[in-house]
Amino acid sequence: MFEPSREEVRKFFMEAWQGQRNGRLLSPLEALATEVIQYHPEFHPLLESTSQETLERTWGPEEGGMNPFLHLSLHLALEEQLGIDHPPGISAIFQRLCRTTRDEHEARHRLLDCLGQVLWESQRQGTPPDQERYRQLLQATLST
Ligand SMILES: [Zn+2]
């Protein structure tokens, strides 16, 4: 699995967004990233700042906010999963959530919470992400 550094991830999103604004030809991954960025207007000022501080900044729980770059990364991973329907059934769950929430972004966020949870647990335990647990969490979004 490709594991870019924190700074690389941030640069990737900032450069993709800048490229989109300048009309540069984007790679498929960059195009997907800008799609995700587009429905987060609250992150735009941050992505448009080019200061070194943005590359190094941390977002702790005490700030009550999520790390925008982490959030975008999770979105990107989720879009890839939806694109290939992996884990199997995730696309169908997404479609159902879209119907019940009537809000695609909200539906994405429900799935994102599951992904974030599984990744957080895997990091904490030092084990690979638990696919079975992920499937269960995804399934559970339909009953809440
Ligand atoms: Zn989001």
- What is the C-alpha separation between 107 and 99, in angstroms, rounded? 9
81 to 75, 77, 84: CA distances (angstroms): 10, 6, 5
Res. 55: pLDDT tops 70: yes
Secondary structure of the chain in HEC code, one letter for each residue = CCCCCHHHHHHHHHHHHHHHHHCCCCCHHHHHHHHHHHCCHHHHHHHHCCCHHHHHCCCCHHHCCCCHHHHHHHHHHHHHHHHHCCCCCHHHHHHHHHHHHCCHHHHHHHHHHHHHHHHHHHHHHCCCCCHHHHHHHHHHHHHC
What mean pLDDT is predicted for residues 19-47?
Answer: 94
Ligand 1 center from residue 74 Cα (angstroms) = 9
Kindly list the domain boundaries of the chain, sorted by start residue.
Answer: 1-61, 85-144
Ligand 1 center from residue 24 Cα (angstroms) = 24
Ligand 1 center from residue 120 Cα (angstroms) = 17
What mean pLDDT is predicted for residues 2-17?
Answer: 85
Q: b/e map of 68-102 (b: 16 or more CB within 10 Å)?
A: bbebbbbbbebeebbeeeeeeebeebbeebeeeee
Which residue matches tokens 């924190």? 6
Radius of gyration of the chain (CA): 16
Confidence grade of residue 76 (pLDDT, cut at 50, 70, 90): very high
Select the more confidently predicted residue: 63 or 23: 23
pLDDT at 63: 62
pLDDT at 92: 97
Ligand 1 center from residue 23 Cα (angstroms) = 24
pLDDT at 1: 39
pLDDT at 126: 94
- What is the C-alpha separation between 63 and 112, in angstroms, rounded? 20
Ligand 1 center from residue 75 Cα (angstroms) = 7
pLDDT at 62: 65
Confidence grade of residue 144 (pLDDT, cut at 50, 70, 90): low
